[in-house]
Amino acid sequence: MSNARATHLSRRGMLAAGGALGLGAVLAACGDDDAKSGGSDADASKAAATPAGPWTFKDDRGETVKADKVPSGIVAFTGVAAALHDYGVEVKGVFGPTTTKDGKADVQAGDLDVTKVTVLGNEWGQFNIEKYAALAPDLLVSTMFDSAGTLWYVPEESKKKILAVGAPTVGISVFDIQLDQPLQRMLELAKTLGADTASAKVTAAKKAFEDAAARLRAATKAKPNIKVLVGSASQDIFYVSGSNLSVDLEYFKALGVNFVEPSTDALKASGGWYENLSWENVDKYEADVIMMDNRTSAIQPADIAEATWKQLPAVKAGQVIARNPEPILSYEKCVPLLTSLAEAIENAKKVS
């Protein structure tokens, strides 16, 4: 999706169905979320042992980042921080959805102890530069949802000031590739930061991921006619995602999942990510299973009051499952994504 096209998307749309639809050109200036003290989760896996320097890593922009020592003052997008945490690498600060309104951990925070990291911004466009500088960061890491190398949730309007703090940046691509690729890249990054990627825990998680993928492939082979629709709900719009561009959907499709696909013309307005439907037209596509955006930016299925939604055959049959359009890129966190979809297809009744 080009930046020119991205500027025509609404903030709601950027956060919606296709999953992480944002390009930095539409990000707002920095915010001022409350800071929280840095630290690590005592219940996390064995902390990474920081190796000796120098340190280098070639990211998905093709940029080679170098430092005299291995970074320890890491600041990252919340989902990236959650993935690194699963590998025993802790961060000092995060930006992006971290806590809910009641102060609990956001779904994108995974197993992070959100009381022990400094939150630089909890919402779209927020990034407190003063708090960032106070952390004396030596590395900033985020994902990228475009081919231009835009760091996700790093506000474009304050990007220069953020970079002026001096910390090098690393971008991990999650754009138009399959899920197994960024999973491997995050593992490689974690290893350079001291993670024991050959540990029994990591090895078991990778094996569980492979087994779950095999289960999903078997389920789709056994029930090839089960149609899966991917959606996200807002007050006025129901977003139907296409299966291209998103790392999870591209991977699921490669495993045989029969996705409902909006027409090419319908996808054009969003650069190929999703189609906007009014609630009156939410029954435009027939589906047997519906995957719904579970991020806090979306209305959850239990809270949808629209009569047209409640009358959908898949909804009436109870064949609605959750989907995180921004998967936490650790093998441990991605196993349930595969397992829940495989189980849904295995148990699905043909209702379309």
**Residue keyed to tokens 């596509």:** 285
Q: How far is CA 178 from CA 39, 246, 247, 250, in A?
A: 33, 8, 5, 5
Identity of the amino acid at 93: G
Domains of the chain: 55-196 (3.40.50.1980), 202-347 (3.40.50.1980)
User: Token pair for residue 210?
Assistant: 């492979």
pLDDT in tens, 186-245: 999 999 999 999 999 999 999 999 999 999 999 999 999 999 999 999 999 999 999 999
Tokens of 106: 């956001």
Question: Radius of gyration over alpha carbons of the chain, in Å?
Answer: 20
Half-sphere exposure of 284 (CA within 13 A, CB side): 17
Read off the pLDDT of residues 143-190 as tens digits, 9 standing for 90 and up: 999 999 999 999 999 999 999 999 999 999 999 999 999 999 999 999
| Res 34 pLDDT > 80 | no
Pairwise pLDDT comparison (25 vs 212), residue with the higher score: 212
Q: What percentage of the chain has pLDDT greater than the value 70?
A: 86
Q: Which helix (H) or strand (E) holds 321?
A: strand 320-323
Give CA–CA dist 129/161, Å, rounded: 7
Q: How big is the chain, counted in residues?
A: 352
Contact indicator for 295, 241 with CB cutoff of 8 Å: no
